[in-house]
Amino acid sequence: MREKVIEEYLRDRIKAIGGRAYKFVSPGNVGVPDRLILLPGGKVVFAELKAPGKKPTPNQTNQIKRILNLGFDVHIIDSKYGVDKLIEVCRGGDA
Q: Is the pLDDT of residue 21 over 80?
A: yes
Question: Of 26, 40, 33, 42, which Cα lies nearest the Cα of 74?
Answer: 33
What pLDDT shows up at residue 36? 98
CB 21 within 8 A of CB 14: yes
Give 22-68 pLDDT, tens digit per residue: 999 999 999 999 999 999 999 999 999 999 999 999 999 999 999 99
As a whole number, mean pLDDT of residues 69-85 equals: 97
Over residues 9-18, the pLDDT tens digits come to 999 999 999 9
* pLDDT surpassing 80 at residue 94: no
Answer yes or no: are the C-beta atoms of 80 and 74 closer than 8 Å.
Answer: no
Closest by CA position to 74, among listed 65, 83, 85, 84: 65
* Fold type of domain 3-90: Trna Endonuclease; Chain: A, domain 1 (3.40.1350)
* Whole-prediction pTM: 0.91
